[in-house]
Amino acid sequence: MAHDLPPLNALRAFEATARLNSVSQAAEALHVTHGAVSRQIKVLEEHLGIALFVKDGRGIKLTDAGVRLRDASGEAFDRLRSVCAELSRDVREAPFVLGCSGSLLARWFIPRLGRLKADLPELRLHLSAGEGDLDPRRPGLDALLVYAEPPWPADMQVHVLAEERIGPVLSPHFAGFERLQGAPANALLDEALLHTTSRPQAWPTWAAEQGLDPTALQYGQAFEHLYYLLEAAVAGLGVAIAPQPLVADDLRAGRLRAPWGFSPTSAVLALWVPRRAADGRAEQLARWLRAELAGQGA
């Protein structure tokens, strides 16, 4: 169309040259070559059908048309720079809303919040808990911390933090603790295992990894969420199964034991960030989470 705007790169080259009154300085400011700026100005002049610069000794000067376009483009680019700066400032000052399961929040994240705030004091983090209903595509969430298996959604930038490792845990106060400590993994086939309806495949996955028949497992009390399952294990009610990070503090404190260790699954703990909303805060948080998980042997 006859009234279409000229190419943006050409306008940028002109605006920088007109503002600095130098092709060389414009090239330096735009991090391109002298020739690239000259070509873009020529593109703009051909698009408008009018000269914008004329030679002035060894330099250049604006034509009357160039002065008009300099004033208009300078004002427009100044406004764009101002608005972009405001938008960036708004993003930096807004809380970064992170969604994760209530179990992960209560048993791993909250105990580390003090350290996170000390290490990343400029990150205003807001935590949102949920169980299976959190989606970073929806308004109100900036990212999601989740255990999941690839492939990843195409519209997500996924920061892999650590492989998932799961294993059975029980309290030293559990009635069968002495009998099970040091026993082979198949000893658990005789136990009524504590389990959770939110992760029904946890026990079968672990059993298969140990070379046991998952159909031979026996189940006892069920809990809706992992948090309640692990509280029951700490209370000595039976043998539970959990990802290693969620019981790391209990293992260090001696509240739980993991006689059979932890085995990897096909899932990983990852930070999911919508590509449309990715920003530097997600990268910063991902680096901190990765280092924190590595430090505890997750």
242 contacts: CB under 8 Å, gap ≥ 6: 166, 167, 169, 202, 226, 229, 230, 233
Place of tokens 């705030």: 117
What string of DSSP letters covers 157-196?
A: EEEEEEEEEEEEEB-TTSTTHHHHTT--GGGGGGSEEEEE
Number of neighbours of residue 33 by Cβ within 10 angstroms: 12
Task: Please tell me the predicted confidence (pLDDT) of residue 75.
Answer: 87
Read off the pLDDT of residues 138-166 as tens digits, 9 standing for 90 and up.
778 899 999 999 998 889 999 999 999 99
Q: What is the largest CA-CA distance in the chain?
A: 97
> What is the C-alpha separation between 39 and 197, in angstroms, rounded?
65
Contact 181, 256 (CB under 8 A): no
The pTM for the full model equals 0.67
> What is the C-alpha separation between 223 and 195, in angstroms, rounded?
6
> What is the C-alpha separation between 252 and 121, in angstroms, rounded?
27
Q: Give me the tens of pLDDT residue by residue for the chain, a chain 298 residues long.
A: 445 788 889 999 999 999 998 999 999 989 999 999 999 999 998 999 999 999 888 888 999 998 999 989 888 888 888 777 666 665 566 799 999 999 999 999 999 999 999 999 999 999 988 766 678 887 788 999 999 999 988 899 999 999 999 999 999 999 999 999 999 999 999 999 999 998 899 999 999 999 999 999 999 999 999 999 999 999 999 999 999 999 999 999 999 999 999 999 999 999 999 987 777 899 999 999 999 999 865 5
Contact 250, 106 (CB under 8 A): no
- 277 is written with which tokens? 């909303």
Instruction: Give the number of C-alpha atoms closer than 13 A to the C-alpha of residue 43, restricted to the C-beta side.
Output: 16
CB-based burial of residue 108 (10 Å sphere; 0-12 exposed, 13-18 middle, 19+ buried)? buried
SS3 content of the chain, % helix, strand, coil (to 5): 50, 25, 30
Residue whose C-alpha is closest to residue 245's, from 114, 155, 131, 147: 147
